[in-house]
Structure 1
Amino acid sequence: MTARLGRAYNPAMTLSIGILGLGALGTLMAWHWRDHDCMVISKDGKPVFRQLVTANNTDQLQLAHWQNENLDWLVITTKAADTLSAITPLAEHLHRIKRIVLLQNGMGQQEAVANWLSTQSKAPELWLASSTEGAYRQNHNDVVYAGQGQTLIGRYQEGPDQDTQDHDCLPSNTVYVPDMLDRLRHKLAINAVINPLTALYRCHNGELVRHSDYRQHLQRLAAEIAGLYAFLNWSLPWDLITQAEQIATATAANQSSTLQDVLQQRPTELPYINGYLLAQAEQHGYALPHCAELMTQLGN
């Protein structure tokens, strides 16, 4: 369902937006939202300086520290594993936040946040987002805008009587969709194919298609994951093998986020990608041998 695509942004409305997790994607979104009242939630309470490098320009960004002002949106762009530990210290300030949106890779953390919010009084609405924008950190302060994409946003749970006026209060460069959980599952399927394989073979995305052995591995893994989706009655709008090959080709020069984490010796998000699928499979007695083997090989 995409009937409400395009009801995205009222340019006359200035929103108050807090960002928790000012990495590459968080910095890019802050740049998109520079005409809003954008703040950063940081541990040291100091303003944050960043540079956003585009093909034609370098823009300076200075984000004030959030001083517990009312927020229209609190945008979480931390790693999935850090989500709860990042937001639980904000419990006493939740009454000042109208909406929390999780803009992250992977799945599993959404349910954990929803469960935590259900225990809080005056909890904000929970929203989800997914972006195909490309960005990476060149150094501590500089972020490179590597590829223009689309950022979709929608509620964690839709209800028939929810206020459609909320759709006019979205941050700029976001597009409302009513089926975000399905959209996240679609992205999860692609990430569960491309991310672990690029990390395993230490290769750019395009090599998964150009190298015959890698391509065969991609096809086996994609077929296995597509089988799980069919078993769970999760929708896929395309053939997963074909789509994964097309995306790997279209992003041939890219390094997946998982490969970047491996090369930088950081924990990966695979527990929230392939690990999430393995947990779903185990819950239903469904075997994912290729997926399980990859997780073992990559030390997850």
Structure 2
Amino acid sequence: MTLSIGILGLGAIGTIMAAHWREHSLFAVGRPHIPPTRHLQTGESVLARWPDFPPSQDFTLPVWTGESLDWLVVTTKARDTLNAIQQIQDHLPLVKRLLLIQNGMGQQQQLQQWLTAEGLACELWQAIATDGGYLSSQGDNSRSYVYAGAGEVMIGRWQADPDNHVPVGQLPPHLTVVSDIHRRQYMKLAVNCVINPLTALYSCLNGELVTHPAYLQQLLRLSEEVLQLGQQLNWDLPTELPELIQQVATATGANRSSTLQDVLAGRPTELDYILGYALNCARQAAIDLPALSSVARQLELAASSPLPQADG
């Protein structure tokens, strides 16, 4: 069955998803003037896992003009989610499912509340992706990306629903439906609350958080505070969270976190929906997080602007 899939936010992850879904009917959403051309170069580690995946490919997605969509996949930055969706509000009755593939938390609640208030029936789904990619170079009307890390994409309904499934033939390739997406999302948030701000603060690779003694001490302090927060707010985090975060930092040792990439490129970061979200939850519950708060203040000073806070 050929699916109709719109992609809003054709960055690295959006382009990687387009490559996985290349046999389906794809549309670029939100670019009314120039059909975006993308080039994807597949890294050796990905080809080792999927030897039949094309090592290099170019494709141009037609611009979405209101065709019915089985899936509208959003891969924008978290802070842009609601505004981007509101700009295509008139076409949303033609969309069966919205799928967010993003870092952070807070935008899901904002979007679900808006969909409900507007009486829009499209289902909201959340994804956790472990694929890795980055921008290689940029031309006038095209971008080249590297698919650097082979991972998986797990999805689930954002609102609790006993029918947390997708009809046979309507699940795009490379997606797996899970029943505990919220627990997995909190686990990812916990990891990102430690690794992302610290790599941005120290301008270091993920692995250096484990190999540098002073950085490791900070990693452990932040991990314990995130665990404390999660235990008090019933996030169902494992008690061995500090060890698990060290394992993630080691396994992704040569990677630059998405936050560090944003800092180096002079772009706004997503920390308002990662660290900011956690601090906002702590403030609402009157939980003191001195180490996380200190890192947030240092990052604010480094950026010479306040760190925005996410809605809880």
Aligned twin of 2:2 = 14
Equivalent of residue 152 in structure 2, options 150, 153, 161: 150
How far off its partner does 1:166 sit? 2.9
How far off its partner does 1:123 sit? 2.6
SS at structure 2 position matched to 1:19: strand
Equivalent of residue 161 in structure 2, options 159, 162, 169: 159
Q: Using the alignment, how far apart are the partners of 1:278 and 1:175 within structure 2?
A: 31
1:220 aligned onto 2:218: no
1:99 aligned onto 2:97: yes
Q: Using the alignment, how far apart are the partners of 1:173 and 1:120 within structure 2?
A: 31
Question: Which string of whole-angstrom CA distances, capped at 9 and with x for unpartnered residues, describes residues 171-199 of structure 1?
Answer: 11010001211111110000001000000
Q: Using the alignment, how far apart are the partners of 1:246 and 1:165 within structure 2?
A: 33
Aligned twin of 1:9 = none
How far off its partner does 1:159 sit? 2.0
Q: How does 1:27-42 map to 2 (within 5 A)?
A: 27-42=15-30
Aligned twin of 1:26 = 14
CA change 1:55–1:298 in 2 (3 A) is: same
Q: Which amino acid aligns with 1:128?
A: Q
CA change 1:260–1:164 in 2 (3 A) is: closer
SS at structure 1 position matched to 2:146: strand
Equivalent of residue 84 in structure 1, options 73, 82, 86: 82
Q: How does 1:213-292 map to 2 (within 5 A)?
A: 213-237=214-238, 239-292=240-293
Aligned twin of 2:107 = 109
Gapped runs of 5+ residues in structure 1? Answer: 1-12
Q: Using the alignment, how far apart are the partners of 1:100 and 1:165 within structure 2?
A: 13
Q: Is the 8 A contact 2:227 2:239 kept in 1?
A: no
Q: How does 1:139-218 map to 2 (within 5 A)?
A: 139-140=137-138, 141-160=143-162, 162=163, 164-166=165-167, 168-218=169-219
SS at structure 2 position matched to 1:139: strand
Q: Using the alignment, how far apart are the partners of 1:298 and 1:169 within structure 2?
A: 43
How far off its partner does 1:169 sit? 1.7
Q: Using the alignment, how far apart are the partners of 1:163 and 1:202 within structure 2?
A: 40
Q: Using the alignment, how far apart are the partners of 1:136 and 1:122 within structure 2?
A: 34
Gapped runs of 5+ residues in structure 2? Answer: 45-54, 301-306, 308-312
Number of paired residues? Answer: 287
Q: Is the 8 A contact 1:46 1:64 kept in 2?
A: no
What is the aligned-residue identity percentage? 49
How far off its partner does 1:32 sit? 0.7
Q: How does 1:36-51 map to 2 (within 5 A)?
A: 36-51=24-39
SS at structure 2 position matched to 1:298: helix
Q: Is the 8 A contact 2:183 2:236 kept in 1?
A: yes
Q: Which amino acid aligns with 1:134?
A: G
How far off its partner does 1:241 sit? 0.7
Higher RCO (C-alpha 8 Å, min separation 6): 1
RMSD (CA atoms): 1.3
Q: Using the alignment, how far apart are the partners of 1:230 and 1:164 within structure 2?
A: 29
Q: Which amino acid aligns with 1:148?
A: A
TM-score by length of 2: 0.89
Question: Which string of whole-angstrom CA distances, capped at 9 and with x for unpartnered residues, describes residues 79-116 of structure 1?
Answer: 00001110001111111000001110000000000000
